[in-house]
Structure 1
Amino acid sequence: MPMSTSSAAKGTVLNFNLSPADIERRAETLVAQGKKVQDGVAAQTNPTFANVIVPLATRQNEQDADYSVVTFLQNVSTDKDIRDASMAAEEKLDAFEIESMMREDVYKAVRAVFDNKSEVASLGPEDRRLVEKMELVFRRHGLALDKDKREHLGKIRMRLSELAIKFSRNINEGDGRAVLTRDELEGLPSDFFEGRATEEVDGQEGFVVTTKYPDIIPVMKMAKREETRERMFVVEGQRCPDNIPILQEAVALRLEAAQLLGYKTHAEFVLEENMAKAPAPVLEFEEDLRSRLNVLADKEIEEIEALKKADKQAVGKPYAGLFGWDYRYYSNLVKERKHNINDEEVKQYFPVKEVTRSILDIYQNMLSLRFVKIDNPPMWHADVEMYEVWEATEETFIGHFYLDLFPREGKYNHAAVWPIRAGFDRPDGSREYPVAAMVANFPKPTPSAPALLTHDDATTLLHELGHVFHGICSVTKWALFHGTRTERDFVEAPSQMLENWSWEPSVLQKFAVHHQTGEPIPEALVKRLVAAKNEGAGLFNLRQLFFGLYDMGIHNTADGKVDVKELYNKLYEDIARFKIGSHDTWGIATIGHMMGGYDAGYYGYMWSQVFSADMYASRFVKDGVFNPQTGLDYRYEILRPGSSRDAMDSLIKFMGRKPNNRAFLKSIGLNEASSN
């Protein structure tokens, strides 16, 4: 594999070794520097692009990394004092940004440049877009309102920032746990128990099972006892009770803010900047898809019901319906029986180190890049790996990224990518290079085996690395447009497109090797995996639609009369088609998207799949998944522009036409050829 190691990284290497006092000082410095820039802009008597827009955008360029580092540590540090300091810093910085967006004197200067049509027309495309975007951002923060309304809006924004930070902290630190005996965990493989913490339960050895992904997902998929799965469903569903009133308050405040600005609903406010533009197309898309998926789901429910009824009959118990704790277990059972697919068999071919290395190799070849692993880099935890990124055929540095793949106490407990630093042009013409960090929670090694991934984990790795390289490969003049800062309902498309690689036989046989023998995954097993790709697609995608329709349900209301907990439970049963039972649960409390930037935007996961499927089918299937020119076109037309142009323009450049939904429908098992 063309990946080497180096003892020192190129570019400006960031320092994550900060004490709580360091974090506090850095936040104070960022505020002081920002205020100085804004005061200078406000003092301009003859506002121009050079003395107003450039200083404001340069401040974002230069402060981006410091801001990201001090706020990122709350998600990855093992030290609670550091996590708390990071959260406090984020509150301070968010408060300052909200105050900044409410400064009428700064907005007047920006507006004067915006209104100078001859100067704006003389600018290059990205600079002109910068002026338009900056004016729009100020206007959406209420600068066209009178003073009283503007100040009230500022207070709402401040409170929403506080609520978002608390919501996230509760999820990161609010893991649930249960202690279960080996009998209660019947069906789990032997390596599930290796190295696991134990506690005595009624005189028996009990195993600690948490709600972190490497624990709860295998239990929900493989535990034979319904009581065990039900117990873990409830443990997960009763996490973070404090987040329910937080979300309830946030929904009300978002609506109030939107209506102050003249929008009917919060969704209307958010979608104005997205590809969808308004709630109506989103709801039409989701409801149309729901009706199509229900046709598939009807058949899947019949198969699952038959299995559960047989299980109940075997133990002489009545069948009472399908519940949330049945979904993963019986869906997995159907896949095993119909396609002879067993997760335990499959994961033997997915050792995390080898899979990661091979997937990085695929990205190197596709994007014409070269990665260099850094020895003993400065980082926040010993598990973290750091890589430089170079052009494949020349000594041109591109950026660097971090991989933090395993769970630990207090760490962010899903999978995500943080764009730590945007690339940008310095005033002297030199370049600052991008940095991204991928954080995940894959299974850790056991005493008898290395860390082994499921096929789903490998797909997640491909997806999240897609976000990493969207940031690394982006080249823009201004941080505001860099990488994944695209329209919210497009941002997932580039990463979703790369998920297809985990279903390509020729690709799978490159990165899936047995952890003991080193033999590539057998062709027969690959065929069974690919054949099972859309098994359960109706129910799986209905679950995604459930989250999207719930999101619209709480954010597209004009009267604010919505109970966030009650609506979640109702729609879960109506759309996802599994019952919650008599338990008092509040599953929405741990869905970070609703407070983490995806409000009125969760639909984007499925909306953007239309684009990802079309990109894949129209170019990579047609030209060959290993075609180097296709990979370069993807890098230069989709990843490189970031949001310096509209996403639709990038799609047309890459595909040579506007997108349609034919490939998308086929990709989820709906073979009807229709276009949107």
Structure 2
Amino acid sequence: MTNPLLQDWDTPFEVAPFDRITDEDFAPALEVALAEHKAEIDTIAASVTEPTFDTVIGALEAAGETLDKVLGAFFTVAGADSNPKREELQRQFSPTLAAHFSDISANKALFARIADLWEKRDTLDLTDEQARVLMLTHRGFVRSGAALEGAAEDRMKEIKARLAVLGTSFTQNLLADERDWYMALSEDDLEGLPDFVVAAAHAAGAEKSVEGPVVTLSRSLIVPFLQFSPRRDLRETAFRAWEARGANGGETDNRGIAAEILTLREERAKLLGYDNFAAYKLETEMAKTPQAVRKLLMDVWEPAKAQAAADGRVLQKMMQDDGVNGDLAPWDWRYYAEKRRAVEHDLDEAALKPYFQLDRMIDAAFSCAARLFGLAFQPLDIPLYHPDCRAWEVTRDGKHVAVFVGDYFARGAKRSGAWCSAMRSQARHPEVQTPIVINVCNFAKAEPALLSYDDARTLFHEFGHALHQMLSDVTYESVSGTSVARDFVELPSQLFEHWLDQPEVLGEFAIHAETGAPMPKEMLEKVLGASTFDMGFQTVEYVASALVDLAFHDGPAPSDPMARQTEVLETIGMPDAIRMRHATPQFAHVFAGDGYSSGYYSYMWSEVMDADAFEAFKQAGGPFDPERANALETHILSTGGSRDAAELYVAFRGRLPGVEALLRGRGLAAA
């Protein structure tokens, strides 16, 4: 076999040999891997011996090793370093993979053996983790349609295949709109922009092979442009392009795709006996019901909307004082909020940004992980899929723990946003395997690489996910790392953001890029004092998106999602000058796959826990309290999905949290 995807990887820690893999290798490797996996599944299903946990569930857990390797390598590059060939392969693979896994979940012989184990589970003498894996496996098969027969079974297969195609199309349309649009800037158009924005605009122009600076739809460039450009006409042009992603008409328009996805999800839920997709989706989450989700969101919405309204009046007055008539518009909010922040907190983003060097913030995240969990990070010189990527070996007490890969810079071939994924997850069955974890971000590339404060929070956030993967200590891969309830998965990531805000962390790592001087104490105090600035805006744009997502799925699927979006926003009283964080045509969390569908609320659900969890550190010995850190690793970071999420949180904290700590943390609690 000459295909490197199908060979044993003799690379350090068996990281995919990206220097030897070509795009032509993926399709034949996938064909072999699927056939191998199918043969393994058929063997498990066809056995005539009495089913045992090891011969059924354990065998399922061990199956698909080659498939995991191929897909781990492919989806890494498909998301972070795409090209036309990889996009074509993704469109080709999506229905194939959907059909493959649909066939597994519809395998009657296999399900019969799983159901047999489930019926006699109390007599099997299982460990707690084994009992959990059996329950999740049985439930997963039932929810996938394994108990369906005849026409219903056939229709479920069709729905899954079509949803896979639509999710891929949604993502690629959004990437195309983001990749193709840019606005060229003249030297006069750069007036008023800080040096770091000018440098990022020039770098973006070079990346686009354009003479001179440009604004693109990369969040790390367009947001600071909207913050600092005094040119209202350019801000409006850029904002309207950003808002129109996925809704420009033509081949890349996502509105029809969104409508079809919602219709198919509803049909899928009803085939399984649920009233709607939200009821189906939330059954396995901590929240359990749409009513519980809506209550949480509305408990936060009202104080957030009130704060945003008060802030909007101040910004409107500032705009009028500038001689601009008319109402405050969405392309005005960030600009005047930045001016207000500079006045009220005497905080200049341009003066602040040199203190947030990318390399120093990476060091800060590593340092916090060392102090909390005893982890050490050593650079690795290994081939990766793009020159911007870098890797580290993660150890504890000299013992290998994981490989961590960072891919931090924006580029046209990378989809927007930031994410954490694992090319290989931790497990001890069928043999010990350590994780290979990737953080992907979209920071503006410049020299030196400087981050905004929000960028630095994103870095810490994604590294929190990485810690959840790296510190995982379970037997079975299906419950490893971030394989937890969707409204629990953001707890470790959002909790880790709190360490960025600690004065001792900023005091050590917020070092000026040119002078090497630490951030002055006065500036540090201003940064921390401004941490809840404009939180009304941030909370409103997020909660509005979560409420629209819930409304899409909690009831009949809307034939016109855009009309339903408008209806929801009018009902809750969405401020005119604020837009949803993710409007429907670019709401990849919800429409690129099922991950956050009817589940975008989970960031807020997790924030309720993370605010409460960090209070536990403050109430103990401080942010680096060893007892609390040990409890965090023992009960949350190492356990993955091997126990119920609510049970894990209570084990760590002694109780479930309320919303009060979140409102205090966001500065939205009543005085």
TM-score of the aligned structures, taking structure 2 as reference length: 0.91
Matching residue of 1:432: 433
Matching residue of 1:4: none
Choose from 167, 170, 176 the match for 1:167.
170
Letter in 1 for 2:387: A
Choose from 31, 48, 51 the match for 1:47.
51
Whether the aligned pair in 2 keeps the contact of 1:71 and 1:87 (CA below 8 Å) is no
Whether the aligned pair in 1 keeps the contact of 2:262 and 2:558 (CA below 8 Å) is no
* 1:304 paired to 2:318: no
2:355 is paired with a residue whose SS is coil
- Equivalent-residue separation in structure 2 for 1:432 and 1:198 (angstroms): 43
Letter in 2 for 1:486: V
Whether the aligned pair in 2 keeps the contact of 1:554 and 1:562 (CA below 8 Å) is no
Whether the aligned pair in 2 keeps the contact of 1:542 and 1:575 (CA below 8 Å) is no
- Equivalent-residue separation in structure 2 for 1:271 and 1:340 (angstroms): 44
CA change 1:489–1:198 in 2 (3 A) is closer
CA change 1:156–1:215 in 2 (3 A) is same
- Equivalent-residue separation in structure 1 for 2:519 and 2:11 (angstroms): 35
- Equivalent-residue separation in structure 2 for 1:171 and 1:551 (angstroms): 18
Matching residue of 1:659: 657
Matching residue of 2:564: 567
Higher mean C-alpha deviation, range 653-662 or range 602-611: 653-662
Letter in 2 for 1:166: S
- Equivalent-residue separation in structure 1 for 2:352 and 2:499 (angstroms): 16
Choose from 361, 365, 368 the match for 1:359.
365
Matching residue of 1:590: 586
Choose from 79, 95, 117 the match for 2:99.
95
Higher mean C-alpha deviation, range 599-608 or range 326-335: 326-335
Whether the aligned pair in 2 keeps the contact of 1:61 and 1:422 (CA below 8 Å) is no
1:397 is paired with a residue whose SS is strand
- Residues 335-386 of structure 1, C-alpha deviation per residue, up to 9 Å, x if partnerless? 11110112111101011112212321222221111111102x1210111011
CA shift for structure 1 position 530: 1.1
- Equivalent-residue separation in structure 1 for 2:82 and 2:275 (angstroms): 43
Choose from 471, 474, 483 the match for 2:472.
474
- Residues 192-218 of structure 1, C-alpha deviation per residue, up to 9 Å, x if partnerless? 33434669xxxxx96321101232111
> Where do 1:534-573 residues align within 5 Å?
534-557=532-555, 559-569=556-566, 571=568
Matching residue of 2:446: 445
* 1:368 paired to 2:370: no
- Equivalent-residue separation in structure 1 for 2:528 and 2:357 (angstroms): 20
1:373 is paired with a residue whose SS is strand
2:188 is paired with a residue whose SS is coil
Choose from 71, 79, 85 the match for 1:81.
85
Matching residue of 1:26: 29
CA change 1:258–1:219 in 2 (3 A) is same
The alignment yields a C-alpha RMSD, in angstroms, of 2.3
Choose from 497, 507, 510 the match for 1:509.
507
- Equivalent-residue separation in structure 2 for 1:197 and 1:641 (angstroms): 42
Whether the aligned pair in 1 keeps the contact of 2:545 and 2:583 (CA below 8 Å) is no
2:214 is paired with a residue whose SS is strand
- Equivalent-residue separation in structure 1 for 2:343 and 2:155 (angstroms): 59
Letter in 2 for 1:358: A
Letter in 2 for 1:553: A
- Equivalent-residue separation in structure 1 for 2:92 and 2:558 (angstroms): 32
CA change 1:672–1:560 in 2 (3 A) is same
- Equivalent-residue separation in structure 1 for 2:564 and 2:328 (angstroms): 20
- Equivalent-residue separation in structure 2 for 1:219 and 1:151 (angstroms): 51
Choose from 223, 230, 238 the match for 2:229.
223
Whether the aligned pair in 2 keeps the contact of 1:327 and 1:578 (CA below 8 Å) is no
Choose from 336, 341, 345 the match for 1:339.
345
- Equivalent-residue separation in structure 1 for 2:617 and 2:157 (angstroms): 46
CA change 1:240–1:112 in 2 (3 A) is same
Matching residue of 2:399: 396
How many residue pairs match? The answer is 643
* 1:187 paired to 2:210: no
* 1:604 paired to 2:602: yes
CA change 1:620–1:389 in 2 (3 A) is farther
Whether the aligned pair in 2 keeps the contact of 1:73 and 1:83 (CA below 8 Å) is no
- Residues 512-554 of structure 1, C-alpha deviation per residue, up to 9 Å, x if partnerless? 1000111111110111111111122122101110110010111
CA shift for structure 1 position 94: 2.9
1:389 is paired with a residue whose SS is strand
- Equivalent-residue separation in structure 2 for 1:209 and 1:233 (angstroms): 11
- Equivalent-residue separation in structure 1 for 2:17 and 2:99 (angstroms): 24
- Equivalent-residue separation in structure 1 for 2:65 and 2:609 (angstroms): 30
Whether the aligned pair in 2 keeps the contact of 1:620 and 1:630 (CA below 8 Å) is no
1:370 is paired with a residue whose SS is strand
Matched residues, percent identical?
29
Whether the aligned pair in 2 keeps the contact of 1:187 and 1:222 (CA below 8 Å) is yes
Letter in 2 for 1:318: N
CA shift for structure 1 position 47: 2.2
CA change 1:62–1:576 in 2 (3 A) is farther
- Equivalent-residue separation in structure 2 for 1:616 and 1:48 (angstroms): 43
CA shift for structure 1 position 91: 3.9
CA shift for structure 1 position 656: 2.6
- Residues 238-297 of structure 1, C-alpha deviation per residue, up to 9 Å, x if partnerless? 223321111111011101111111111111110000000110111111112212222322
Whether the aligned pair in 2 keeps the contact of 1:416 and 1:464 (CA below 8 Å) is yes
1:193 is paired with a residue whose SS is helix
- Equivalent-residue separation in structure 1 for 2:639 and 2:80 (angstroms): 30
Whether the aligned pair in 1 keeps the contact of 2:192 and 2:229 (CA below 8 Å) is yes
* 1:108 paired to 2:112: yes
- Equivalent-residue separation in structure 2 for 1:300 and 1:166 (angstroms): 39
Matching residue of 2:496: 498
Choose from 24, 37, 40 the match for 1:37.
40
Choose from 254, 270, 277 the match for 2:281.
270
2:409 is paired with a residue whose SS is coil
Tell me which stretches of 4 or more aligned residues in structure 1 moved more than 4 Å.
Answer: 60-63, 196-199, 569-576
> Where do 1:518-537 residues align within 5 Å?
518-537=516-535
CA shift for structure 1 position 90: 4.2
CA shift for structure 1 position 587: 3.8
